[in-house]
Structure 1
Amino acid sequence: MTGDSAVDPVPDGFRIHHVVEQVDTDDSGVVHFSRHPSLVESALLRGLAARGGGMLELRALGLVLVVSRLRVSYHAPARFLDRLEVSAAVRDVGAVQCRASGTVVRRSGDGPPLLLSRTELVFGAVDAETGEPAALPAAIRHAILADPTPQGRG
């Protein structure tokens, strides 16, 4: 999928936009189910990077994030050339794990948006060399939870 590489902060998370390409679809023109959580993860990681708590910052500390739990509910298919809005938000940050959720929505013309899927995921910090669970530094936890929208900068 292609789209704007910019991430839009929204009050409780991040939003990116994508247009479905042929390479993302099966022979019938429907987006493969695995792309939905991938898009949510992309929105989440871009947003975390915009807040200063992304993969580069973690890697500099010898940490990486790994997904430990994934749940996806599908409501309607995405198809070739659909314009998608993908939103993701961190719901909780603990010492080692974060819980996040997101949605993939189709927008067409002036009609109402259509929910295509809802994703919930848990990811944890691990030592980049050993793969052992590792604590998220306080500065990273704070950056992940920071609200970058004008409403959150009060």
Structure 2
Amino acid sequence: MTHRLPLRVYYEDTDLAGIVYYANYLKFIERGRSEWVREMGVDQAAMKRDEGVVFAVRRVEADYHKPAHYDDQLEVTTLVETVTGARLVVRQTVERGDEVLFTALVTIVAIAETGAPARLPAAFRRNLH
């Protein structure tokens, strides 16, 4: 399952040189994951309310390949690498046309509201296949 999110670089995303500020790539991939989960039909607010489970990023391995600039049209791609009972690893890329600008391997875990580890909800795991 691959999800794609188009987005445009706005002035607020850039530094004085008009280049995307490095931390904003993390925001871009977060938006990609959020829209991916939403398109799967998962309501994260309801999941928290009804099951007491939320997602948290445990680890990000990121590589910056080329800079994005003001007004670029980008695409964030999200692809599932592995799934276990309580952990999900996704590969995400930010591209401009055929150019890969940024790649990340993101480990996401399920946690209870107390912060203790929890299992990924069964309905969520079913949506991954």
TM-score (norm 2): 0.92
Q: How many residues align?
A: 128
Equivalent residue in structure 1 for 2:17, among 4, 28, 31: 28
Unaligned stretches of 5+ in structure 1? Answer: 1-11, 108-112, 147-154
Aligned letter for 2:85? A
Cα displacement string for residues 15-70 of structure 1 (whole angstroms, at most 9, x for unaligned residues): 11111111110001010111112212211221112112352342131111111100
- Partner SS, residue 118 of structure 2: coil
Q: Is residue 101 of structure 1 aligned with residue 101 of structure 2?
A: no
Q: Is residue 118 of structure 1 aligned with residue 114 of structure 2?
A: no
Equivalent residue in structure 2 for 1:19, among 8, 33, 37: 8
Aligned letter for 2:29? V
- Partner SS, residue 122 of structure 1: strand
Task: Identify the residue that residue 92 of structure 1 maps to in structure 2.
Answer: 82
Q: Is residue 141 of structure 1 aligned with residue 125 of structure 2?
A: yes
What is the percentage of aligned positions where both structures have the same residue?
Answer: 30
Cα separation, 1, equivalents of 2:10 and 2:92 = 21
Runs of 4+ in 1 over 4 A off after TM superposition: none
Unaligned stretches of 5+ in structure 2? Answer: none
**Deviation at 1:89?**
1.5
- Partner SS, residue 94 of structure 2: strand
